[in-house]
Amino acid sequence: MDHATAATDVHNNDTFLDCMILKFYKLDIEPCKSRANRNCTNNARCLKGLGQATWLINQVEDIQEEDKNLAGEEQFCFRGLKNLGATCYINTFLQLWFHNVDLRQAIYKWRPNAISNLIPTSSLSEQFLVNPITCLQLVLSMMQYSVRSVVDPTPFIKCLNLDASQEQDTHEFLSLFNSYIQNKLNHENDKSIQKTINQQYCMKIAYIIKCSKCKFVSERESDFYELLLRVKGFKDIDECIGDYLKEENLDGTNRYACQICNGLQDAKRFIELRKLPPVLNLQLLRFESSNGHSRKISSFLKFPKRLDMSKFVRPEQTNPTNANVYNLFAVLIHEGQTAYSGHYITFIKKDNLWFKFNDENVEQLKDFNLKIDNDDDFHSGQNGGNNDGTGNGRNEKGFHKSKNAYMLVYKLDTESNRPLLNELRQSNLPDYLVDYIEKDNQKYLQEKEDLLIQKCQERLKELNHQRLVRQIFSKMELIQPQTKQCDITVSSNMNNNQNHSQLNETFDAIDKSWLMNFFRASTSDEVPAIDNKSLLCMHGKLNVDSSYKCISTESADQIYSLYKSDIRLKLPEYFCKQCIQYRMYMSRLKQTIDDDQKLIRNLGKFKNCQDENLYFVGKESMKKWKNLRIDSIKRQYEVDFKPATNFNFNEDLLCQHGQLCSDSSKRTLIRHQAWLILRKHFPGSPEFDENASPCSDCLEIDRNRQIIRDKNYDIALIQRSSLINLYNGELFRYWPDLLAGHCYHMIATKFYMAWKKFVSHPNTTPSPDSLMQYESNIICTKHSLFIFPPFDDKYVGYDKIYLILDQNEWTALTEFYNFSIDVSFIRINDSENCDQYELKPGFCSYCHQTFVQEEKQKRFIYDKLPIYVKKIVTEEANTDEDFNNNNPIKKSKIIDSNHNQQHRNDFETVQKNNQQQSQTNQRKRTLRKRRMFNELEILSSSHDKLKDIKVKIMQHFNVATYDQVLWYNGKQLLSAQNNCTIGELEIEPHTTLLLKVDDMMDENVSPVECTNVGNNGPEVGFKEIIIPFFLVKVLSFIYFENLFLFFAIFLAM
């Protein structure tokens, strides 16, 4: 088709064509009046919402002002510490040690024997990271004298062999490292630093047992670095200390072996505080273990700003000079729900100001009120309020409270008021540290200066790009529309004086995506080259359907002078009249097709005249003739066009010989007038009137097929009458049904189903060739033996693998189908009534095991199939019979194989059950499993890990992964199996997991930060530095669980 001729058929008027060009190119629309920053896709002149608002509204800061801000000194008084993954708990202790001036100075004075002050800095890297005290010196000195705002504690972490990705026990780490530091300082020649740790933290505690009969007192003093206080059930710190010092009666089976009385006597045991240190560490036992899991105690605890310990010390140890009055110095916080996850931060008081140390971030609190918890449950109140430790109200004056504090640090009143002498002097630092810090500071300042220059250059580029964007955009918009609104209706009476076109004005089209990149780029260097080739049509002009915007020629001149381009689309030069003419023709054609469709429909409503000829039309062609007509035009005009239909009009009624097909269902008759309309659209299409004869060759083929169908029908009728019981499915046998002395034969179920389908529908289903092609389903190809064991009904049945036939059925069946191997079975009873049998060929146990393994693997390989989770509360679990019997999956009922009638189902019922099962597998909506409120359906694959399933359960039931106890097939899924796939755990689809929530779960616990489950491994980071790890665990257990009992036994010995 010549689209120019087609356009002439529409209208031969240049003014009308110009109007249509502007209409199709979306240039006849008034300017956008909407204030919304949204681009109009139907207006090529709309330039809103392309990204220029950032440059037109926001002002880039002045370069000189930016230089001042970047060049200005960073204002920070304390340095933060880099978190290497899960090292926040170490960062809290590093901050505590740094702000203890005496400890810091002692660390500075320590000298390793292997390193001399005269060691050159170049060799420092090799010998520096060998000793934890040396690494601690580096970190603390960097925190004091480095110009960096954040210090990297990597040397210290690596030296301790700590896993930076795993949190460890904070109390154990602090105790062991304090002991280690003291041990190292004991070997120093300088006596002023030998006992630094003991002088700062060590307290004397006496363990006393007093016999109630002879009043003999047995006591033993010990040194400790902190008090371990239980918080569960207590409201304030005084109650916790009182519980620690409370008196306990030893009676009954727990009586004391008194060495004076020489026998077991009732006694009292208690603890006395003999001496308190300048820095008092109070460890709050926030975590308790149960069932292998650690649970956090999130109850509020009140503690004072000033702590008077006089009432807890023996009267002779107190004095009126406030020697036992402490001021709150630091609070260590754990944010999280378990000991295996969460985050540690520190609040430290310095010069009457509170600072928050959160790894890299150091923040000075705005007021004197210490706010600890993120949820603002903690307040330091000026007035009285709720002080019961349970609410969120304000505390009484002079007290704090928190539910996340796990360690409190108090300093003596005299210690707090003591001036910090020589804190900033570097005289105590080793020379190698001074050299290292000076070089690091120089390196950092140089990097900072280079960064400043780079940022200034980037800011300058941004400012220049902003000015360029504003300059170009101010000239970009087309002020007036290119034409007035034009009527697209084709009219022969069009007035040439109406709708004046303005195609003589010039402007440019440019790629819309490039404009967006230009406006959104930070600098001109980020703007890509202009690619306008994607906007071209097949004629090398502007494509109507492409994504473009029209801009003024003046702005286009400036853009093309700055950025590379492949082609410049000047308008109206690049308007494609051919595409517009084609679109006009297609619009008219679609209208004509719609009119003809209505006419054909109306002709079909009336009966044809007796002398009127009728014509055959293919049913598919009649249904799709509109699309066929449009595709015929597009196929000629458009490049790379893919038609929706794959045939030409009326070719669907042709046979393979090119004649009228013999199948009358593929064609229909239409009236002569309707045929003329269709022939107008499809000239040269195949034409057959009602008197045309079908293809003779096809009629012969149809006759031969009918003969074959009749023959198959007779064969199927004979086979069905000979095997009527087998056909009806009335004699399905199982192993217990077999009679002694009778011979039975096995056939594959697949053969039976194929034979059944043939006998039921012989006209449409081919007959199975022979029994031989199905023998591989029951006989192993390697040994030619029977795969399945006798007396095992698991593989017998219409829906299983093989069926059992008697001798008569086998004889009748083999008359119609050949076989190569006859699997026969004879049951024999001996005199002792013990079953014996004869199986030919024999049973192949090796191939059976292979078959079982292959089937098992197939069951556990699946993708996106449902697994159900049922949540059982404690009360329900106690009454659930399946759960109590370690069988959480309710088994389906097993049919009793001794009842023959239950096996003899009608085949039609069996077929119906198969259809229902098939529908169930297709997840038909009406047969879909109904879920209760306590059930969850998870679409999973066999390669999904158990921990992924637990995360989904957590998101639905709001139960943390560590509190989930899952059961499957009577077995508990352990936390150690979290990284195993559900295929490896042999969890099948469409089965149910039982979820029991751990009783230790707190109702208010939110399962955030709890995806790291199973982190119960030993803390091996510092086991080689201090003492063997197993000894640490033994001593920790004795200390926490059996402290009094341990010392009682020791004294009794």
Taking the C-alpha atoms of residue 693 and residue 659, their distance in angstroms, rounded to an integer, is: 9
The CA–CA distances, whole Å, from 457 to 31, 169, 213, 454, 526 equal 39, 49, 89, 5, 14
Cα(320)–Cα(461) distance, rounded to whole angstroms?
71
Q: 897-904, long-range: CB within 8 Å, 24+ apart, which pairs? A: 897/734, 897/735, 897/736, 897/793, 898/736, 900/737, 903/732, 903/733, 903/734, 903/737, 904/729, 904/730, 904/731, 904/732
- Position 881 confidence tier, pLDDT thresholds 50, 70, 90: very low
Q: What percent of the chain has pLDDT over 70?
A: 74
Question: Six-digit token pair at 85?
Answer: 């993954």
Cα separation, 181 vs 1, whole angstroms:
96
Cα(687)–Cα(683) distance, integer angstroms: 10
For residue range 574-583, list pLDDT tens digits in order. 999 888 888 8
What spatial distance separates the first Cα and last Cα of the chain, rounded to whole Å? 115
Q: What is the pLDDT of residues 288-301, one digit of tens each?
A: 876 666 788 888 99
pLDDT band at 834 (very low <50, low <70, confident <90, very high): low
Angle between helices 619-637 and 577-603 (to 10 degrees): 170
pTM above 0.85, yes or no: no
Strand order, beta sheet including 569-571: 548-551, 507-511, 569-571
Residue with tokens 């669907």: 652
pLDDT, tens digit (0-9, with 9 covering 90-100), for 19-36: 888 888 888 877 676 666
Query: Which range (465-479, 492-506, 761-775, 1018-1032) has the least confidence?
Result: 1018-1032
DSSP string, 343-367: EEEEEEEETTEEEEEETTEEEE-SS
In angstroms, rounded to a whole number, what is the distance separating the alpha carbons of residues 126 and 37? 61
Domains of the chain and CATH, by start: 3-55+501-574 (3.30.2230), 604-694 (no CATH), 700-858 (3.30.2230.10), 860-997 (3.10.20.90)
Mean pLDDT of 889-913: 35
**For residue 326, which phi and psi values (nearest 5 degrees)?**
-115, 150
Q: Are 381 and 396 in contact (CB under 8 A)?
A: yes
pLDDT of 330 over the 90 cut: yes
pLDDT top residue among 987 and 10: 987
Give 57's Cβ-side CA count (13 Å radius): 5
Determine the 3-state secondary structure of 318 from DSSP: coil
pLDDT value, residue 423: 43
Q: Picking from 14-23, 357-366, 561-570, 830-839, which range would have the lowest pLDDT averaged per residue? A: 830-839
Is the confidence at residue 159, as pLDDT, over 90? no
More confident residue, 444 or 61: 444
pLDDT average, residue stretch 970-986: 88
Q: Specify the 3-state DSSP secondary structure of 627.
A: helix
Q: Read off the pLDDT of residues 246-256 as tens digits, 9 standing for 90 and up.
A: 999 999 888 98
Query: Quick one: which of 996, 1001, 1040 has its CA closest to 338?
Result: 1001
Other C-beta atoms lying within 10 Å of the C-beta of residue 580: 22
Q: pLDDT tens-digit profile of 179-211?
A: 888 887 777 777 777 788 888 888 999 999 999
Q: Which alpha helices (DSSP H) does 795-939 contain, by range? A: 807-814, 845-859, 874-879, 881-884, 907-921
Q: How many CB atoms lie within 10 A of CB 201?
A: 22
Q: Which whole number is the average pLDDT over 868-889?
A: 55
Count the alpha carbons within 13 Å of 744 in the hemisphere toward its beta carbon. 27
> CA–CA separation, 294 vs 286, rounded Å?
10
d(C-alpha 378, C-alpha 394), whole Å: 8
Give me the chain's average pLDDT, please: 77
Residue 29, CA distances (Å) to 17, 22, 43, 450 in order: 17, 9, 6, 53
**How many CB atoms lie under 10 A from the CB of residue 355?**
19
Q: Does residue 747 carry a pLDDT above 80?
A: yes
Residue 923's pLDDT band (boundaries 50, 70, 90)? very low
pLDDT, mean of residues 541-554: 89
Integer Cα distance of 1018 and 1015 in angstroms: 9
Query: What is the spatial distance between Cα 1030 and Cα 1023, in angstroms, rounded to a whole number?
Result: 9
Average pLDDT, stretch 510-537?
Answer: 88
pLDDT category of residue 367 using cuts at 50, 70 and 90? low
